Structures are given as structure tokens and as C-alpha cells.
Chain A
Amino acid sequence: MHDARFVTRALSQTDDTLDIVHVTHADEAVARLGHEHFDYVLLDIKMPGVDGMELLERIRSNEGTSVVPVIVLTSSTNPSDVFRSYKAGANAYAAKPSSLSGYRQFAEAFVRFWIENTLPPRGVVLDQ
């Protein structure tokens, strides 16, 4: 709950404008991903109820969301969690920062790498 507040705040302080939807239940996440278009998913793997890892697998097995980039943001730095996340189809893994500046750096890096670099401009066909 609090962490979502920190991430939202840090992302809102970057130069880019992002629409952020915060959901707290895996089932809710799956339902909304099924109906709406999202460019990215930020996911905490330590959640009450359904394990975040299970949600990640559900996102990957669903045709509509099988390639949406999923960035795992979680408090665990346990190597087995990192490994399991990538195995389940995560595109990036980051440990939750423990300071506001840490969150700002995360938000900055997220925007630079995922939004400004990765999305090809519309109408351009990349050569093989």
C-alpha cells in the first residue's frame, strides 16, 4: 500500500506523463489486463493471497498479455526469488529502494530505459 504510494509519487516527479492504475488483487489485475491496454506492468511478488509469481505466470500464459513488459519491484533480494521471477517471464527485476531518492532513481531509470529507449516510434518498420 505504502510502496505503491512511493512509486506513484516518484514516477509523477519524472518528466514523462504516465497513467498509473494501482490494483491490489491478482484477480483484479488479470481482469483489467484482459479488458484494457497497458504498456507496462510493475509487479510486487510478495502479495497477500495469490503469490505475485503466480500472477506473472498467468499474465504470460494469456495471449493478450504474453509480451507486455513486466518489471518486478519487490522487497526480496533473495537470489531464488530473482531467478524464479525471470523464469516466470519477468523482463526486469528491482529491489524496493529504502529511500525517497532511491525511488526517484528507480522512476528515472524506468522512464529512460523502458519508455524513451525501448518503444519504437510508430510507423517505423525495423529491418531484420
Chain B
Amino acid sequence: MTAFDEELVFNALYETFPDPVIILDAERIIRSANPAALTQFGYAADAFIGQPARLIYADDDEYLRRLRNRAARVDETIARTSTYSYIRRDGSTFSGHLRTTPLIDAAGRELALIGIIRDVSDLATAVLERQRASDMLDAAFDVMPEGFAIFDAEERLLVYNRAYVTICGPAGPLLHPGMTAEEILLLAQKEGHYPEALPGNPDWPAWVAHRLQDFRQPDNRAKIYRYAGDRWLRVENIKTKDGNTVVLRVDVTELKRAELTLERQRQELEHKNEALDQFTATVSHDLKAPLRHISMFSEMIEDELAAGNQDEVSASARHLRDSARRMNRVIDSLLDYSQIAYQISTWSDVDLGDIVADTLGVLGGHAREANVAFEIGPLPKVQGDPELLRRLVQNLVGNAIKYRHPDRGPIVRVNGRAVGQQVELAVEDNGIGIDPRFATRIFEVFQRLHHDESTYGGTGIGLALAKRIAESHNGSIHLDTSFTEGARFVVTLPKRMRKTK
């Protein structure tokens, strides 16, 4: 067995080692370099050995960085923390991953430093490109208006963007990778971020369970929830092939509001259509009845003339005339009613006090005849159409006089007050009153409660007209059913005009 010459073996290894190996002394002077090092840096041995280490670094900054890293004992096993820019003799540069081994004597002093420099130019370029691509994605990711996050199979947060932080509301500032989806959801829920699951709502655990269920077993359908007060959130959870869950959170408030507005308009239209149908049915009934009567009384006159009943003829003729008059009144009322627009177009300042004073002037003769006592309180100013408001007040005061009680001295009270941004006008009387059952029907066209037209005449348009006038001012009218002395109508009008689309 031949002796194993260790020195020969290590020398061979040094001479043939594929990566450049350079040995520095304690003064950082190059003391030795293997052939790979000489080839890599392009120097002859005598031009290289004896030079300071600074020679192989691309510039002073790079060399300083190396010295600082050495002082800080950075991890040299990975390329990312220990790669420097080196320079060859011909001035060209390359990236090298430096790994060093110090030689220490028994007293702990450093005698020499063995450095191995692997050319990682290709790798460095690839890493740089990957870093650029990743930075680009991160930047795009962060400015996306959609909240985006990825959770791992254990439901722990991996990455998330800025919009996701915003959408998480009170949980947003506390987000950090490693948090679970449940923790995030509960954090926001506890702070009242979800109006459907406020902490005081006994149903909140069920709501949270439902949300978590959708996170754990998504059915691939987006859900829409309320969040952050009156906003709306579209939530989509997607399981990826590698077991992660991608979550998308989009604020759809504008869309949802538009949808709600559309739905409200649809219902309004439906309601208006029903009202129109009802209106048409009522109107045709009220127009047809006197027409039918006219035709029949004329037939009756013919019959009676043929039979020679002279006295019956004049009674039938009177009924015929009454029917024609009635029809005329119905048509006039309809014209009145149809002339009021759904929305008045010119608004001016109106003093309700003046309007009531005018009305009393107009109805004065009638009121004196009935011996009506008026009690008029202070009345506010509003904005509206003075002519229409005058008709509204006239109708209400006129009704109050008309439906007086036969056994009581009639009293009519008109009062007004401001309630927030609205003005209330109340007209009450001590008359025969109105059964609360009819509180809404009385405002429909041609709805009369009294059969006896000779005592309480009229076509039944007055209150329908009053309602339409109030509504054309963005206001409303109702019968105060808690008032039992007589009838009490309350008109609510906005103090100032409201802009409507």
C-alpha cells in the first residue's frame, strides 16, 4: 500500500478547483490564487499575488459593502446576501457569490481568509428579472381598487393588497400574514363593521358561521353583504389547485344603490299604474251612471207620454236634467283634477296666513249663513304655488263648514307649526267627523261617504284634489284619526322647495 500524500492531494484539488479560490492575509493582501481565479480575473500570477483585495472589486462602494457585510457577519451561504460586483483585468465586471473561511491561530487571531468566488452572473440576472416582475405585480396589486388576498390551506393570511386593508375596516390596520380568516372576520365584526351582524344582534354568530362556511366551501357564487355603515360589498372566495383560497372583495355600493333606486322607481310606477287603473275604473263608473240615467229617463218620458201620465213626465224630466247637471259637474271636477301637475314647476314664497285670510273672504257669505266660528292660529310661511295652496285650503275649510253637525254651533280651527324641515297645517272642525275606516279612501277620486247629495252635495273630488296639490308640493295630507271631536286634516309641506330629478 503506497503512502497517502495528503499535501499532494490538496495541492491537486487547489490547482484544479473549478471556482476561483483567493487567499488573503490579515492585511487583506492577496497571498495566493488558484488557476481558476487567475483565469477568471485575467491576471498573470505575479501581477495578482501581492495586490490588495480591493483590486478585484468593481468600485470602492462595492468593496466597502463587502467590508461592512463581513463586520456584520452576513449569511454567506445564500447568494442574495453575499453577492458582489467584481472586476477583471480588462475592466469587465461580473457578479460573484463569495464564501469565505477564516484561518484562526491558537490565540484567536485571524491569519488568513480563504475566499471562493463563484460567478453567478446568469443567476443574478435571472433573480433581478424575477424581482422586477414581482415588484411590478406587487405595485399593480396594491393599486387595484378590488380587495385581494390569499389564504393558505390552514386559512392563514399569506398576502393581501391595500384595498383589502381598507375593506377590512377596523381589522385593516391589524392585518398581518399568518392571521386566520376567522380572526379577521371577528375583529371587524366586533367593531360593528357589518350592519347585519352588529355585536348587539343575537343573530351575529349565525351570520359569521355563514360567512365562514362560504369561505371554507365556496359555491363559486359571489355574495353581496352590507358593510361599513351603508356600503355594499361583493364577496367571492375561490379555492385554488394548491389548496389556497383566493378572496376577492369589491365595493359595489354605487351599483347596489342604483339597483335599489331602480327597484324603488319600479314599485312607484307599479303603484302609479294601479292608481291609474283604479282612477279609470272609478271615473268611467261615475261618468256612465248619469249617462245611463239620462238615457233611461228619456225612455221613461216616452213611455209616460204614450200612457198619458202627464205629472210623471215632469218628474222624469227633472231627474233627466239633474243627471245631465251631475255629469257636467263630474266632468268639471275631472278637468280641475287633471290640470294639477304631478310636480309644480314654479315655487314662490307663500304666507299661509294670507291664504287662509283670502279663503275666509271667499267663503265668508257661506260661513256667516252657517254661523261658523273661526279660530285661526299663527301660520308659517312656505314655498309653493299660491293659487294651488289657496284651493287646498279652500277645499279643507269648505269641507269643515259643509260637514257641520246639525246640533252644534260649528267651529273651524286652522293652525300651523314648523316641524324640522317641514310645515304642518291643520284644519279641524266639530262636525259630523269621518269614520277612521275611511281614512285613506276619502282621498281617492269620487269616493263619497254620504248618499244624500241634497244635504252634503259634491262630486267627491275635493279631498282627492287636496291630496294631489299637497303631493305636487312634495308634501302629504292625512286624516288625524285620533281626533274625535269632528274631522281633523293635517297637511305636511316642506319648508323649502326640494330639488327633485
Contact = CB atoms under 8 A, between A and B. Distances in A.
B292 A24 contact: no
Contacts of B293: 2-3
Give chain B's interface secondary structure class: helix
Interface string A72-86: 000110100000000
Interface in A1-16: 1-3, 6
B28 interface: no
Contact of A24 (B296, B297, B452): B452
Interface stretch (B135-143, B200-208, B443-451): B443-451
A96 B281 contact: no
A120 interface: no
Given A99-B299, A100-B303, A49 B323 contact: no
Contacts of A48: 447-451
A98 B296 contact: yes
B438 interface: yes
A98 B292 contact: yes
Contact of B296 (A47, A76, A100): A100
B289 interface: yes
Contact of A78 (B281, B289, B447, B450): B281
Contact of A98 (B295, B435, B438): B295
A25 interface: yes
A2 B289 CA distance: 9
A49 B300 CA distance: 30
Given A24-B451, A100-B299, A75 B285 contact: yes
Nearest to A74: B285
B288 interface: yes
A49 B449 CA distance: 4
A46 interface: yes
A106 to B, nearest CB: 13
A1 B296 contact: no
Nearest to A46: B285
Nearest to B292: A98
B211 interface: no
A47 B451 contact: yes
A73 B296 CA distance: 17
A48 B458 CA distance: 12
B231 interface: no
B300 A100 contact: yes
B296 A99 contact: yes
Counting chain A CB atoms within 10 Å of each CB, the highest count among B295, B299, B438 belongs to B299
A96 B450 contact: no
Nearest to A76: B285
A99 B452 CA distance: 24
A75 B451 contact: no
Contact of A49 (B288, B289, B297, B438): B438
B432 to A, nearest CB: 12
Contacts of B190: none
B319 interface: yes
Interface string B273-288: 0000000010001001
Interface in B282-335: 285, 288-289, 292-293, 295-297, 299-300, 303, 319, 323
Contacts of A25: 451
B160 to A, nearest CB: 59
B296 A75 contact: no
Counting chain A CB atoms within 10 Å of each CB, the highest count among B281, B295, B296, B448 belongs to B296
Contacts of B435: 49
Contact of B319 (A2, A75, A100, A103): A2
Counting chain B CB atoms within 10 Å of each CB, the highest count among A2, A24, A47 belongs to A2
Interface in B395-445: 435, 438
Counting chain B CB atoms within 10 Å of each CB, the highest count among A48, A76, A78 belongs to A48
A37 to B, nearest CB: 25
Contacts of A75: 285, 288-289, 292
A96 B292 contact: yes
A43 to B, nearest CB: 14
A64 to B, nearest CB: 24
B225 to A, nearest CB: 42
A100 B293 CA distance: 10
A7 to B, nearest CB: 11
Contacts of B448: 48-49
List the 4 closest A-B pairs by CB distance, nearest first. Answer: A24-B451, A48-B448, A49-B449, A100-B299
Given A75-B285, A75-B289, 8 more contacts: A1-B451, A2-B296, A25-B451, A48-B450, A49-B435, A49-B449, A100-B300, A103-B296
11 contacts: A1-B451, A24-B451, A25-B451, A46-B285, A49-B450, A75-B288, A75-B289, A75-B292, A76-B281, A99-B296, A99-B299
